[in-house]
Amino acid sequence: MKWMEIGITVHREDMDAVSDIFDGLGTGGVVIEDPALIYDVVSGGSEDTVAMDISLVDPEAPPCIKGYLPADDGFGDLLSGLLDALGSINRSYPPEVTLREVEDEDWMNRWRDYYHPFRVGKRLMVKPTWEQADTGEGLLVIEMDPGMAFGCGTHSSTSMCMRLLEDTVRAGEYVIDVGTGSGILAIAAVKLGASAALAVDTDAGAVRTARENVSLNGLEGAITVKEGNLLEGLDTRADIIVANIVADVIIKLLPAAASLLKEGGRFMASGIISGRQEEVAAAIGKTGMNIINTLREGEWVAFLAVKK
């Protein structure tokens, strides 16, 4: 099957909105290329960072968001709808748009060349299933084949959630992972000691991928993966709810999250671009939860809040 890769250069404050537009069109995956984030990671000099010539990265360059749509007779209408939607969020659009036809093999597998084992926090290691690694004594290894589902662990929003989980999960707790994508956060929670987790996603492809990853890690008995709309229809009280999505969706699910959390339960929110930080923080406060920790990486922010 052939796909059209649509690359759109955006203003940084519009990244969430443009990603949502792509998602609403049913794209087969969204890629965010943010030079500022790449620069921060490479210049940080972490031992887990892939070697790269930092002079090739311009941190002032605008980010590019890429989405993928089937290259069929309906593509023209979808592209027109995309450009109309872009104009609704910023009058300076339509921005620079690039189109490239790709095969399934191009965009579903070539990224694997750049996805290698890496550590997150003190105890977690993410290991692609096709790679070998010296896992080391005491490391909690997460076997991953994320496919086209979001959450391979390399994005700041995901890694910050994993670090928060490492500092927060207690033995025997119940965790709900909203917008689970690849399932990596639910898997991390159970590896860190949670007795059970529920992983929810609206996308059927993500649900399939998450189930496969749960199986790869031998956690079918501890993690349930289901297709659903955020927290709708759930009634099991949780010790932890984690939502690594986007600001608008986080704000939308906050009342339900506060209701489902046990007293003293914790809510983790990530995927928040820095320009939306105050708005999301205010919305969390209105639910009766207190923010007790804030993490930042590049342009991204994550919150840890506790229910009073």
Mean pLDDT by 10 residues, the chain (308 residues): 83 80 72 74 51 62 84 82 75 71 64 71 86 77 74 80 96 96 95 97 88 95 95 95 92 96 96 90 96 91 95
The pTM (predicted TM-score) of the whole model is 0.69
Among 97, 70, 100, which residue's Cα sits nearest to residue 84?
97
Give the end of a domain, one of 109, 132, 150.
Answer: 109
* Same domain, residue pair 88 and 209: no
Note the pLDDT of residue 289. Answer: 96
Specify whether 277 is located in the same domain as 191.
yes
Range of the domain at 246: 115-307
Final residue before a domain boundary, out of 61, 87, 109: 109
| Pair 17, 120 in one domain | no
Give CA–CA dist 231/225, Å, rounded: 13
pLDDT at position 51, please?
Answer: 46
Dig out the tokens for 238 from the structure.
């949780």
Residues 54 and 152 in one domain: no
Same domain, 6 and 105: yes
Report pLDDT for 52: 47
Residue 188: its H or E element? helix 184-191
CA-angle at 48, arms to 43 and 52, nearest 5°: 45
Q: Are 150 and 230 in a shared domain?
A: yes
Containing H/E element for 252? helix 247-260
30 exposure class (CB count in 10 Å sphere: 0-12, 13-18, 19+):
middle
Are residues 162 and 96 both part of a single domain? no
Same domain, 276 and 249: yes
Is the domain of 39 the same as that of 180?
Answer: no
Regarding whether 220 and 79 lie in a shared domain, the answer is no
**Cβ partners under 8 Å of residue 266, min gap 6:** 168, 239, 240, 241, 304, 305, 306, 307
Is the same domain home to 79 and 160? Answer: no
288: Cβ contacts below 8 Å, ≥ 6 apart: 258, 307, 308
Instruction: Answer yes or no: do 129 and 228 share one domain.
Output: yes
Question: Whole-angstrom Cα distance, residue 66 to residue 48?
Answer: 26
Residue 167: which CATH number?
Answer: 3.40.50.150
Domain count, the chain: 2
What pLDDT does residue 94 have? 56
Q: What is the pLDDT of residue 46?
A: 47
- Residue ending a domain, among 86, 109, 132, is 109
pLDDT (0 to 100) of residue 50: 45
CATH number at residue 101: 3.30.70.260
